[in-house]
Amino acid sequence: MPKVSIIILNWNGKPLLKECLDSLARQTFTDFETVLLDNGSSDGSTEYLRQHYPWVHLVALPENIGFAGGNNRAFQDCSGEFIVALNNDTKLEPTALAALVAAAEADPGVGMVAAKMVNFYQTGRIDSVGIGVAGNGMGHNIGVGEQDQGQYDVAAEVFGPCGGAALYRRSMLEKVGFFDSDFFAYYEDLDLAWRGRLAGWRGVTAPAAVVHHVHSATSGKMSPFTVYHVQRNKWFVLIKDWPALLLLRFLPKIVLFDLAALLLAILRGRGGAALRARRDVIRNLPRLLAQRKAIQRVRRIDVADAQALFRKSEGALATFRRKMRDR
């Protein structure tokens, strides 16, 4: 049984696969299996994989079931103690897997490990060193767009990892579940981080786990697809995961920011997608409230601890950043 199971999703990403899979073949840590789920590609991806990468376990689906659903389906074929979710538009440095595993094995209370994702094309620019939560209800990639000057090169507490390059402990997933398939794409990693955190698991960074990332290679920036799923799924997370007192405390800020996001979408010609997002939140409210009840029932931390989680994780990273810059 391998120590690590790597899940890669692909949808018409044939040009991306060589860089990603060749980087896995060069890993210094070799006790892993690779499960690649193809979401109904029509670009010859599956034929290419069968011909050139027979060591990859291919799960080929007839249609696209999304990032969240695809990972859940691939998880069924995984046997590792640790599960690594990895985008197909990534290239790993040779020691990346070893660093992710070492961070998890250092503390049995760690359920999630964030890789250090850097921009594939803009050398030295950070894409993510984990995800944080803001008082306006949005999730965000910590460090995105910053020049890498060593400010994140000390391991630190983080709310959770970006799902594009993340390690999850299987025992955590067996207790809180994997990605929510209803999200399809975007914010499923934040939802999982909330569920893991509420259940008492920790999240940490692994600065030596460097992963080069082609940002938004599949869905595109500010596309109707992205606007719809981000603005819908943000509310999915708020309704499912935020403790009630915490949600009430920040509700005015959340609503104001949501109205601003809706206005911006309209001004950029994405109003239809933004309005559909909010309509579908209302339509899904009974299901979301049922999920909320189940999640909050098994919560192991109180409201004060929940609020401290995202402040603590970002505060710790900011402290390390200042120390590194002052050296």
Predicted confidence at residue 324, as pLDDT, reads 47
For 99-123, b where at least 16 C-beta lie within 10 A, e where not — what string?
bbbbbbeeeeebbbbbbbbbbbeee
CATH architecture of 4-213: Alpha-Beta Complex (3.90)
One-letter amino acid for residue 204 of the chain: V
User: 36 near 5, Cβ under 8 Å?
Assistant: no
Phi-psi region of 280 (alpha: psi -120 to 50; beta: other; left: phi over 0): alpha
pTM of the model: 0.92
Q: Which residues contact 10 (CB under 8 A, 6 or more apart)?
A: 16, 17, 36, 37, 38, 39, 41, 45, 88
Place of tokens 């994140």: 152
pLDDT of the chain, 327 residues: tens digit per residue: 789 999 999 999 999 999 999 999 999 999 999 999 999 999 999 999 999 999 999 999 999 999 999 999 999 999 999 999 999 999 999 999 999 999 999 999 999 999 999 998 888 899 999 999 888 999 889 999 899 999 999 999 999 999 999 999 999 999 999 999 999 989 999 999 999 999 999 999 999 999 999 865 445 567 999 999 999 999 999 999 999 988 999 999 999 999 999 999 999 999 999 999 999 999 999 999 999 999 998 888 877 777 777 666 555 455 445 544 544
- DSSP assignment letter at 220: -
What per-residue confidence (pLDDT) applies to 115?
Answer: 98
How much is the pLDDT for 215?
62
Spatial distance between the Cα atoms of 8 and 20, rounded to a whole number of angstroms? 9
Position 315 scores a pLDDT of: 55
Calpha distance 96→118 (Å, rounded): 12
The two three-digit tokens of residue 173, written as one number:
């997933």
User: Are the C-beta atoms of residues 36 and 8 closer than 8 Å to each other?
Assistant: yes
Q: H or E stretch including 96? A: helix 96-105
Domain boundaries, the chain: 4-213, 224-320
DSSP string, 125-174: BEEES-EEE-TTS-EEETTTT-B-SSTT-S--B-SB--TTEEEEEHHHHH
Helices 303-326 and 188-198 cross at an angle (nearest 10°) of 110
What is the structure's pLDDT at 323? Answer: 44
Residue identified by tokens 């010609």 is: 269
pLDDT at 207: 97
